[in-house]
Amino acid sequence: MGELNGLYAIWYREFKIFTRERSRLVSALVQPLIWLVIFGSGLGSSIELGTAGSGIGYQQFIFPGILVMTILFGSLFFGLYIIMDKRVDFLKEVLVAPLSRTTIFFGKVLGGATDGTIEIIILMMLGALLFGINFTIYSAIMTLAIVALLMVSIVSLGLIFGSMMDSLEGFGLVSSFVIFPLFFLSGGLFPVKNLPSWLYGFVVINPVSYAVDALRTVILGVSAFGLPLDFAVLIGFALVMIAIGTWSFKRMKL
Protein backbone atom coordinates (compact mmCIF):
# COMPACT_ATOMS: atom_id res chain seq x y z
CA MET A 1 0.00 0.00 0.00
CA GLY A 2 2.75 2.42 0.97
CA GLU A 3 4.74 1.70 -2.18
CA LEU A 4 1.63 2.10 -4.34
CA ASN A 5 0.90 5.50 -2.81
CA GLY A 6 4.51 6.43 -3.41
CA LEU A 7 4.27 5.37 -7.04
CA TYR A 8 1.18 7.53 -7.38
CA ALA A 9 2.98 10.45 -5.69
CA ILE A 10 5.89 10.40 -8.15
CA TRP A 11 3.52 10.10 -11.10
CA TYR A 12 1.26 12.84 -9.73
CA ARG A 13 4.14 15.26 -9.54
CA GLU A 14 5.27 14.61 -13.11
CA PHE A 15 1.74 14.92 -14.43
CA LYS A 16 1.08 18.19 -12.58
CA ILE A 17 4.24 19.68 -14.01
CA PHE A 18 3.28 18.50 -17.48
CA THR A 19 -0.09 20.22 -17.26
CA ARG A 20 1.60 23.43 -16.10
CA GLU A 21 4.49 23.62 -18.52
CA ARG A 22 2.50 24.24 -21.67
CA SER A 23 5.60 25.34 -23.51
CA ARG A 24 6.94 21.81 -23.29
CA LEU A 25 3.83 20.43 -24.97
CA VAL A 26 3.90 23.10 -27.66
CA SER A 27 7.54 22.48 -28.52
CA ALA A 28 6.96 18.73 -28.48
CA LEU A 29 4.25 19.18 -31.13
CA VAL A 30 5.75 21.88 -33.30
CA GLN A 31 8.92 19.99 -34.15
CA PRO A 32 7.14 16.95 -35.66
CA LEU A 33 4.76 19.19 -37.58
CA ILE A 34 7.67 21.08 -39.13
CA TRP A 35 9.20 17.78 -40.18
CA LEU A 36 5.98 16.50 -41.64
CA VAL A 37 5.03 19.68 -43.48
CA ILE A 38 8.39 20.96 -44.73
CA PHE A 39 10.60 17.90 -44.89
CA GLY A 40 7.70 15.65 -45.84
CA SER A 41 6.45 17.68 -48.75
CA GLY A 42 9.88 19.01 -49.76
CA LEU A 43 11.62 15.68 -50.07
CA GLY A 44 8.38 13.87 -50.89
CA SER A 45 8.06 15.75 -54.15
CA SER A 46 11.20 14.14 -55.55
CA ILE A 47 11.34 10.71 -53.95
CA GLU A 48 10.24 7.38 -55.38
CA LEU A 49 9.04 5.01 -52.66
CA GLY A 50 7.82 2.19 -54.85
CA THR A 51 4.44 2.47 -53.22
CA ALA A 52 2.69 3.98 -56.24
CA GLY A 53 -1.00 3.13 -56.33
CA SER A 54 -1.16 2.19 -52.64
CA GLY A 55 -2.17 5.72 -51.61
CA ILE A 56 0.94 6.09 -49.44
CA GLY A 57 2.84 9.30 -50.13
CA TYR A 58 6.12 10.30 -48.51
CA GLN A 59 4.36 12.28 -45.75
CA GLN A 60 2.31 9.25 -44.80
CA PHE A 61 5.38 7.03 -45.08
CA ILE A 62 7.42 9.06 -42.57
CA PHE A 63 4.48 9.66 -40.19
CA PRO A 64 5.33 6.60 -38.02
CA GLY A 65 8.96 7.69 -38.03
CA ILE A 66 7.98 11.16 -36.85
CA LEU A 67 5.97 9.65 -33.99
CA VAL A 68 9.09 7.73 -33.00
CA MET A 69 11.21 10.86 -33.25
CA THR A 70 8.81 12.70 -30.94
CA ILE A 71 9.16 9.89 -28.41
CA LEU A 72 12.94 9.82 -28.69
CA PHE A 73 13.31 13.51 -27.95
CA GLY A 74 10.50 13.83 -25.43
CA SER A 75 11.10 10.70 -23.41
CA LEU A 76 14.88 10.81 -23.35
CA PHE A 77 14.96 14.40 -22.18
CA PHE A 78 12.22 13.64 -19.68
CA GLY A 79 14.52 11.06 -18.13
CA LEU A 80 17.51 13.38 -18.22
CA TYR A 81 15.55 16.02 -16.33
CA ILE A 82 16.22 14.06 -13.16
CA ILE A 83 19.44 16.08 -13.16
CA MET A 84 17.33 19.12 -12.33
CA ASP A 85 15.91 17.29 -9.32
CA LYS A 86 19.46 16.62 -8.23
CA ARG A 87 20.46 20.25 -8.42
CA VAL A 88 17.84 21.31 -5.96
CA ASP A 89 17.48 18.86 -3.11
CA PHE A 90 14.13 17.60 -4.33
CA LEU A 91 15.65 14.27 -5.25
CA LYS A 92 17.01 13.93 -1.72
CA GLU A 93 13.55 14.51 -0.32
CA VAL A 94 12.26 11.70 -2.54
CA LEU A 95 15.15 9.35 -1.84
CA VAL A 96 14.93 9.82 1.94
CA ALA A 97 11.28 8.83 1.91
CA PRO A 98 10.68 5.25 3.01
CA LEU A 99 10.16 4.08 -0.57
CA SER A 100 12.16 1.58 -2.55
CA ARG A 101 14.27 2.95 -5.37
CA THR A 102 12.41 0.63 -7.73
CA THR A 103 9.13 2.36 -6.90
CA ILE A 104 10.68 5.76 -7.53
CA PHE A 105 12.04 4.56 -10.85
CA PHE A 106 8.68 3.17 -11.98
CA GLY A 107 6.88 6.31 -10.88
CA LYS A 108 9.19 8.35 -13.09
CA VAL A 109 8.77 5.96 -16.03
CA LEU A 110 4.98 6.07 -15.71
CA GLY A 111 5.03 9.85 -15.47
CA GLY A 112 7.14 10.17 -18.61
CA ALA A 113 5.03 7.64 -20.50
CA THR A 114 1.83 9.51 -19.57
CA ASP A 115 3.19 12.83 -20.84
CA GLY A 116 4.43 11.20 -24.03
CA THR A 117 1.16 9.37 -24.67
CA ILE A 118 -0.80 12.61 -24.53
CA GLU A 119 1.56 14.16 -27.07
CA ILE A 120 1.25 11.14 -29.33
CA ILE A 121 -2.57 11.14 -29.17
CA ILE A 122 -2.59 14.78 -30.26
CA LEU A 123 -0.19 13.96 -33.11
CA MET A 124 -2.37 11.03 -34.17
CA MET A 125 -5.39 13.31 -34.37
CA LEU A 126 -3.43 15.87 -36.37
CA GLY A 127 -2.20 13.07 -38.62
CA ALA A 128 -5.76 11.97 -39.30
CA LEU A 129 -6.98 15.51 -39.88
CA LEU A 130 -4.10 17.02 -41.86
CA PHE A 131 -1.94 14.27 -43.33
CA GLY A 132 -4.41 11.71 -44.59
CA ILE A 133 -3.66 8.97 -42.03
CA ASN A 134 -6.59 6.60 -41.60
CA PHE A 135 -6.81 5.17 -38.11
CA THR A 136 -9.14 2.30 -37.28
CA ILE A 137 -9.90 1.36 -33.69
CA TYR A 138 -7.51 -1.56 -34.09
CA SER A 139 -4.66 0.46 -35.54
CA ALA A 140 -5.13 3.26 -32.99
CA ILE A 141 -4.95 0.86 -30.05
CA MET A 142 -2.00 -0.99 -31.55
CA THR A 143 -0.23 2.32 -32.18
CA LEU A 144 -0.64 3.31 -28.55
CA ALA A 145 0.61 -0.07 -27.37
CA ILE A 146 3.76 0.16 -29.51
CA VAL A 147 4.29 3.76 -28.51
CA ALA A 148 3.93 2.90 -24.81
CA LEU A 149 6.50 0.11 -25.08
CA LEU A 150 9.00 2.38 -26.79
CA MET A 151 8.39 5.20 -24.33
CA VAL A 152 9.04 2.97 -21.33
CA SER A 153 12.37 1.97 -22.88
CA ILE A 154 13.42 5.49 -23.83
CA VAL A 155 12.38 7.12 -20.53
CA SER A 156 14.39 4.40 -18.78
CA LEU A 157 17.36 5.14 -21.00
CA GLY A 158 17.08 8.83 -20.14
CA LEU A 159 16.87 8.02 -16.43
CA ILE A 160 19.94 5.81 -16.71
CA PHE A 161 21.94 8.64 -18.27
CA GLY A 162 20.42 11.14 -15.85
CA SER A 163 21.32 9.05 -12.81
CA MET A 164 24.95 9.04 -13.91
CA MET A 165 25.23 12.71 -14.87
CA ASP A 166 25.55 15.70 -12.57
CA SER A 167 25.20 18.62 -14.92
CA LEU A 168 23.18 19.69 -17.92
CA GLU A 169 26.29 20.05 -20.06
CA GLY A 170 25.91 16.45 -21.16
CA PHE A 171 22.58 17.14 -22.86
CA GLY A 172 24.22 18.05 -26.16
CA LEU A 173 26.29 14.87 -26.12
CA VAL A 174 23.21 12.76 -25.58
CA SER A 175 21.49 14.48 -28.50
CA SER A 176 24.41 13.96 -30.84
CA PHE A 177 25.45 10.49 -29.82
CA VAL A 178 22.17 8.89 -28.80
CA ILE A 179 19.04 10.51 -30.17
CA PHE A 180 20.20 11.33 -33.70
CA PRO A 181 21.86 7.98 -34.44
CA LEU A 182 18.90 6.08 -33.00
CA PHE A 183 16.51 8.10 -35.14
CA PHE A 184 18.41 8.28 -38.42
CA LEU A 185 19.30 4.60 -38.26
CA SER A 186 15.71 3.55 -37.55
CA GLY A 187 14.44 3.79 -41.12
CA GLY A 188 12.04 6.47 -39.99
CA LEU A 189 12.76 8.62 -43.02
CA PHE A 190 13.50 5.98 -45.71
CA PRO A 191 12.53 2.42 -46.61
CA VAL A 192 14.99 -0.10 -45.20
CA LYS A 193 14.90 -2.52 -48.14
CA ASN A 194 17.44 -1.71 -50.87
CA LEU A 195 19.83 -0.09 -48.34
CA PRO A 196 23.59 -0.70 -48.72
CA SER A 197 24.41 -3.63 -46.49
CA TRP A 198 26.60 -1.70 -43.98
CA LEU A 199 23.73 0.72 -43.37
CA TYR A 200 21.17 -2.06 -43.24
CA GLY A 201 23.31 -3.70 -40.55
CA PHE A 202 23.02 -0.64 -38.32
CA VAL A 203 19.27 -0.50 -38.89
CA VAL A 204 18.84 -4.14 -37.89
CA ILE A 205 20.73 -3.80 -34.60
CA ASN A 206 18.88 -0.61 -33.66
CA PRO A 207 15.88 -1.54 -31.48
CA VAL A 208 14.12 1.68 -32.47
CA SER A 209 13.86 0.38 -36.05
CA TYR A 210 11.41 -2.23 -34.84
CA ALA A 211 9.16 0.44 -33.34
CA VAL A 212 9.12 2.28 -36.67
CA ASP A 213 8.42 -0.96 -38.51
CA ALA A 214 5.66 -1.99 -36.11
CA LEU A 215 3.96 1.41 -36.39
CA ARG A 216 4.27 1.35 -40.18
CA THR A 217 2.72 -2.12 -40.22
CA VAL A 218 -0.33 -1.21 -38.13
CA ILE A 219 -0.86 2.29 -39.57
CA LEU A 220 0.09 1.79 -43.24
CA GLY A 221 0.20 -1.96 -43.72
CA VAL A 222 3.85 -1.84 -44.84
CA SER A 223 6.19 -4.21 -43.01
CA ALA A 224 9.89 -5.01 -43.24
CA PHE A 225 10.52 -7.33 -40.26
CA GLY A 226 7.03 -8.62 -39.42
CA LEU A 227 4.95 -7.71 -36.39
CA PRO A 228 5.87 -10.69 -34.14
CA LEU A 229 9.59 -9.93 -34.41
CA ASP A 230 8.89 -6.22 -33.89
CA PHE A 231 7.04 -6.88 -30.64
CA ALA A 232 9.58 -9.41 -29.44
CA VAL A 233 12.40 -6.90 -29.88
CA LEU A 234 10.42 -4.03 -28.31
CA ILE A 235 9.43 -6.04 -25.25
CA GLY A 236 12.97 -7.33 -24.86
CA PHE A 237 14.37 -3.80 -25.19
CA ALA A 238 11.92 -2.48 -22.58
CA LEU A 239 12.79 -5.26 -20.11
CA VAL A 240 16.53 -4.70 -20.50
CA MET A 241 16.18 -0.94 -20.07
CA ILE A 242 13.99 -1.36 -16.97
CA ALA A 243 16.49 -3.80 -15.49
CA ILE A 244 19.45 -1.49 -16.07
CA GLY A 245 17.38 1.49 -14.96
CA THR A 246 16.33 0.05 -11.60
CA TRP A 247 19.89 -1.09 -11.03
CA SER A 248 21.34 2.34 -11.78
CA PHE A 249 18.73 3.96 -9.51
CA LYS A 250 19.72 1.69 -6.66
CA ARG A 251 23.34 2.65 -6.90
CA MET A 252 22.68 6.35 -7.50
CA LYS A 253 24.34 8.45 -4.80
CA LEU A 254 22.81 11.52 -3.26
Residues contributing to the site for other proteins (CB under 8 A)? 1-2, 5-6, 8-10, 12-13, 16-17, 20-21, 81, 84-85, 87-90, 92-99, 254
Torsion sign, CA atoms 131, 133, 134, 140: negative
CB of 72 to other proteins, least distance (A): 21
From the CB of 12, what's the least distance to other proteins, in Å? 7
Kindly state the smallest distance separating residue 6's Cβ from other proteins, in Å. Answer: 5
- Smaller CB distance to other proteins: residue 25 or 229? 25
- Which CB sits closer to other proteins, 75 or 217? 75
Could you give the C-alpha distances from 159 to 144, 164, 192, 205, in angstroms and in order? 22, 9, 30, 22
Residue 79 vs 127, nearer CB to other proteins: 79
Nearer to other proteins, 48 or 169 (CB): 169
Residues in Cβ contact with 44 at an 8 Å cutoff, skipping those fewer than 6 apart: 57, 58, 59
For 5-60, the DSSP string reads HHHHHHHHHHHHHHHH-HHHHHHHHHHHHHIIIIIHHHHHTT---S-TTTT--HHH
Nearest approach in angstroms of CB 74 to other proteins is 15
The minimum distance between CB 244 and other proteins, in angstroms, equals: 24
CB 252 within 8 A of CB 244: no
Residue 203 CB-density burial (10 A; 0-12 exposed, 13-18 middle, 19+ buried): buried
Least distance to other proteins from the beta carbon of 185, Å?
Answer: 31
Nearer to other proteins, 112 or 127 (CB): 112
Q: Which residues contact 55 (CB under 8 A, 6 or more apart)?
A: none
